[in-house]
Amino acid sequence: MLEMTKKIILSGTIKTGTETDIKQVMYCNSSLSEDGGISITKTIKDSSVYYADKATYDEEVAEFDNKFDELVRTAYVEKETNETEQKTEENKEE
């Protein structure tokens, strides 16, 4: 039996440095499953670099969080719209 699930996944990498010397500072992953479950993971790759400029990186994390929140809100609106359309179709069939 095939069981499929739909997820919305947002991934991001925060980097610092120049073109020749780029360091990955942090990874961010967030997902929204079809049943409404949310998973958020943020991993600091280089803590010394992160804490040296924490305010800047926190702004970038906030930008990531805001984008994920936007995706979640959009998904809920789409889900409600689809459920309403489905109910309308079911009522027409009756």
Taking only the tens place, the pLDDT of each residue in 49-68 is 999 999 999 999 999 999 99
- Average pLDDT on 1-26 reads 90
pLDDT of 12 over the 90 cut: yes
**CB contact burial 7-46 (16+ within 10 A = b; e otherwise):** eeebebebebeeeeeeeebbebbbbbeeeeeeeeeeeeee
In the numeric block, the tokens 């936007």 are attached to 70
Encoded tokens for 17:
């440095």
Report the number of secondary-structure helices (H) and strands (E) in the chain: 2, 3
| Integer Cα distance of 80 and 22 in angstroms | 43
